[in-house]
Structure 1
Amino acid sequence: MRTYLIRATLALAVVLAVSAPAVAQSIVRGRVVDAAGKPIEGAAVTIEGIDSSARIETKTDRNGEFLQVGLTSGRYSVTAVKGAFRQILPANVSRGKPTQLSFQLSPTSGLTPEQIKANQEMQALAEAALEAMRAGREDEGIQKFNEIIAKMPTCSDCYSNLGVAYTKKQQFAEAEAAFQKAIELAPNSGEPYAGLANLYNTQKKFDLAQQASEKAASLTAASGGGGSAEALYNQGVILWNAGKYAEAKAQYESAVKVDPSMAMAYYQLGMANLNLGEIPSARQAFEAYLKLDPNGPKSAEVKVFVQQLPQ
C-alpha cells in the first residue's frame, strides 16, 4: 500500500539572525494529475508558509494547473486535495525564479475503504507532527514522526524533520544521525544537506557546514528548485562565522545578484566589506539595505554606520 504523506521540512535559522526578505515577490505554479497522468480540474490547492503565517487557497483549472503570484521569498508547503486524496510538496520560493510543482493523486477507486482510512490517519498524524514542530513542541513532534517511521521506514522527510527537532533541542548526535538517514533514503534531496549545514554551523564545524551547504545548493539547483539566493546567503553566513570574510563577501555578492531584494544579504555584504577595510563598498551595501528595509531589524545599527562612514 502506498501512503501519500506530507512532504515538508521545517526550516532552521542559521546562527546569525536571518530574516526572510519581506519585499521579494515570486511565483508558484503547478499541475495536478491523476494516476493515469490526466489533469484534475477543481483540485483544492493550499499554499502555507513554514516560516510565516501566510496561507493562500486556490483551485486548478480544466488543465489541472494553478498559478499563484505575489508570494514573498521563503519556504512553503503546498497541498493539493481532490476527494479523499492529497499530496503535500515543499516549495522554496525565490524572487525571479518561478517554482514549478507536479502533483499526482491516485483515484479512490484504486484503494479499498480500509486503505483509504489508513492513508487519512497517516496524513493526519503527519500534519499533527508538523503542527507540534511549528508550535515549538519538539518532543511531541519527535514522538509523532517516530510513529510514522514505525509504519513507513522509508519516510525521508520524517527523518529530516527529526533532524530539525533534535538540532533545536541541541541533541546534536541524534540530529546528525537523522539527517544522514534522510540522505540515505533520498540522496538527491537538498533538504537534509541543508539541515546538516545548519547543524554543523551551530556546532562551529564550519568546514563541514560549508561542504553540506554547497551540496544542498547543487542538489537544489539540479532539481530545478528555487531558493538559490538563500543557499548562497547561507554559505556566506557559514564562511563569515569561520572568519573567512573575503569568501563570505563573494557569496553575499552572488546572493544579491540572484535576488536584488534580499535586504539581509546587503547587510552582511556591508559587514564583510567593513571587516575587509573596503569602506566605500561597505557604505554602499548599507545604503542598499536601508532602501530595501528601512525599518528592519538592523536598521538602527546600519543608520549609525552610514552616518559615521565617509562618502
Structure 2
Amino acid sequence: MPCLADWFRRLSGRDGASGKLRDIIILQEDSMVRRFNGRLAWVAGCAALFALATALPVTAQSTGMVKGVVKDTQGQPVDGAKVVIEMSEGTSRRFETKSNKKGEFIQIGLPSGAYRVTAEKDKLTSNTADVRVRISATAEANLVLGAPGAAAASKEAIAKNAELKSTLEAGIAASNAGNDDEAIAKFVHATELKPDCADCFYNIAFLHSKKKEYDKAEAAYKKAIEIRPDYSDAYNGLANIYNAQRKFEEAGAASLKAAELSGGKPGALAGGNADAMFNQGVILWNAGKIADAKKQFEGVIAANPNHAEAHFQLGMALVNEGNLPGAAGEFETYLKIAPTGPNAAQAKALVEQLKK
C-alpha cells in the first residue's frame, strides 16, 4: 500500500505538513483493517442476534411471493380455504390468505427464507408444502385438503417446529449472555432439527468468527450460502473474516458478491447498499487499490450522501491523489455529519493542516 505520509512529503517538498499530520495519516493506514473488522462485526452481530428473533422490514426490492392451488382429494378446487404461510427458520412470522373459487391463492411481500405452507377448511387440513422464497421470485405450493395422513403430519411438524423455536431462543439467549460455546451448541442442534436452516449456520459462523476460529467460521458461512445462494449477509461475513486474516483478494470477491446481492453494482453511483459498497471500498484500500477504493466511496456517497465514514475515506483517497482542497472539503463534510464521530478528531486536525 502506498504510504500517504511519504507521498505528502514529496508533494509539499517539506517534511510533510507537520509531524502531527504524518502521524494522523499513518494511524489511518494502520487502523483501516481494525475499524473495518469492528464495524462489520457490529453489523453482522445485529443480524446474528436478531435475525431469528425479530422480523426485518419488508421492502419491494427484498421480498418474494408464494402462490399455489388448494384442491380436495377428488382434484376439485377448494374455495375459501385458509392458507397459512409460516417462516420455518426460527422466526414466528406468519401470513394468512384464502383461496378463491378456482382454489388459487397468492401471498406477496415475503422476506426471503424457508416457509411451511398449509391449508385448512371445515376441520380438514392439507399436506405441508415446504418452499423457499427468494428475492423477486415466486415459489409454488400446491395443497390437497384432506390428504391421507395430513393431520398427523401437521401435528408432527408443529411439534418439531416448537422444538426448533425453543432451541433457537436458547441459542440467542446464550449468545446475549456471552456464552458463545453454549450458543454454538444450540445452533448446531437446530441444524440437526432443520438441516436447511441457513440462519442457523450463519449464527454458528458469526460466533466462531468472534472467537477468531476463522476456519470453522468460513465453513459455516459457506454452508449458509450453499443453502441460500442469495444470502448477502453471509457473503459479508466471509468478507469480514478474510479481511481479519488480511486475505484481501478473497475479501474483495466476497464483498463484491454481497454488494451485487444487495442491489449495488461495483462503482455504482446511485442506489444499492451503501454499507456493502463501503465495506468493499475498505477492502480495496487495504489491498492497496486506492483508485478502486475511491470509486466505491464515491458510490457510497451517491447512494447515501450522509454516510460520514465514506466522506472521511474519500478525503483520504483525495489526499493520496494530491487533491488537497477536495480532501479538505470531504473532511469538513464529515465533521458536519458526524461532529462527534470516531474520526472527528482526525478530520479536524487534517482540515487545519490542509488549509495552511
TM-score, normalization: structure 1?
0.65
Aligned partner (choices 267, 287, 310) of residue 265 of structure 1: 310
Tell me whether 1:165 sits opposite 2:207 in the alignment: yes
Which residue of 2 is the match for residue 194 of structure 1?
Answer: 236
How far the C-alpha of 1:104 sits from its partner, in A, is: 11
How far the C-alpha of 1:252 sits from its partner, in A, is: 0.5
Give % identity.
39
CA shift in 2, pair 1:127/1:310, >3 Å? same
Tell me whether 1:230 sits opposite 2:275 in the alignment: yes
CA shift in 2, pair 1:227/1:164, >3 Å? farther
* Structure whose residues are more often helix by fraction: 2
- What is the distance in 1 between the residues matched to 2:276 and 2:225? 18
Tell me whether 1:119 sits opposite 2:158 in the alignment: no
CA shift in 2, pair 1:180/1:124, >3 Å? same
Cα deviations by residue, 1:50-93 (Å, 9 ceiling, x for unpaired): xxxxxxxxx99xx9899xxxxxxxxx999x9xxxxxxxx9xxxx
Contact 1:156–1:186 (CA<8 Å) still a contact in 2? Answer: yes
Contact 1:210–1:239 (CA<8 Å) still a contact in 2? Answer: yes
Tell me whether 1:256 sits opposite 2:298 in the alignment: no
Contact 2:198–2:227 (CA<8 Å) still a contact in 1? Answer: yes
How far the C-alpha of 1:135 sits from its partner, in A, is: 4.5
Tell me whether 1:275 sits opposite 2:320 in the alignment: yes
How far the C-alpha of 1:101 sits from its partner, in A, is: 12
CA shift in 2, pair 1:206/1:178, >3 Å? same
* Moved segments of 4+, more than 4 Å: 16-20, 26-38, 63-66, 99-105
CA root-mean-square deviation: 4.6
Aligned partner (choices 194, 197, 206) of residue 152 of structure 1: 194
Which residue of 2 is the match for residue 302 of structure 1?
Answer: 347
SS at 1:187 equivalent: coil
Which residue of 1 is the match for residue 171 of structure 2?
Answer: 129
Cα deviations by residue, 1:262-303 (Å, 9 ceiling, x for unpaired): 111111111222233321121111111111111222212212
- What is the distance in 1 between the residues matched to 2:39 and 2:224? 26
SS at 1:221 equivalent: coil
Tell me whether 1:140 sits opposite 2:200 in the alignment: no
Q: Whose RCO is larger (CA < 8 A, sep 6+)?
A: 1
Contact 1:129–1:140 (CA<8 Å) still a contact in 2? Answer: yes
How far the C-alpha of 1:257 sits from its partner, in A, is: 0.4
CA shift in 2, pair 1:281/1:104, >3 Å? farther
- What is the distance in 2 between the residues matched to 1:266 and 1:212? 23
CA shift in 2, pair 1:227/1:131, >3 Å? farther
Cα deviations by residue, 1:228-287 (Å, 9 ceiling, x for unpaired): 111110001101222222221111011110111111111111122223332112111111
- What is the distance in 2 between the residues matched to 1:283 and 1:126? 49
CA shift in 2, pair 1:16/1:154, >3 Å? closer
- What is the distance in 1 between the residues matched to 2:194 and 2:138? 23
- What is the distance in 1 between the residues matched to 2:349 and 2:242? 33
Contact 1:229–1:259 (CA<8 Å) still a contact in 2? Answer: yes
CA shift in 2, pair 1:147/1:304, >3 Å? same
Contact 2:233–2:258 (CA<8 Å) still a contact in 1? Answer: yes
Contact 2:67–2:138 (CA<8 Å) still a contact in 1? Answer: no
How far the C-alpha of 1:32 sits from its partner, in A, is: 9.4
Contact 1:253–1:269 (CA<8 Å) still a contact in 2? Answer: yes
Contact 1:126–1:148 (CA<8 Å) still a contact in 2? Answer: yes
Tell me whether 1:177 sits opposite 2:210 in the alignment: no
How far the C-alpha of 1:17 sits from its partner, in A, is: 4.5
Contact 1:209–1:238 (CA<8 Å) still a contact in 2? Answer: yes
Aligned partner (choices 200, 204, 219) of residue 246 of structure 2: 204
- What is the distance in 1 between the residues matched to 2:210 and 2:112? 20
- What is the aligned residue count? 261
Choose 1 or 2 for highest CA Rg: 2
Gaps of 5+ in 1: 1-12, 21-25, 44-58, 67-75, 81-88, 90-98
Contact 1:164–1:195 (CA<8 Å) still a contact in 2? Answer: yes
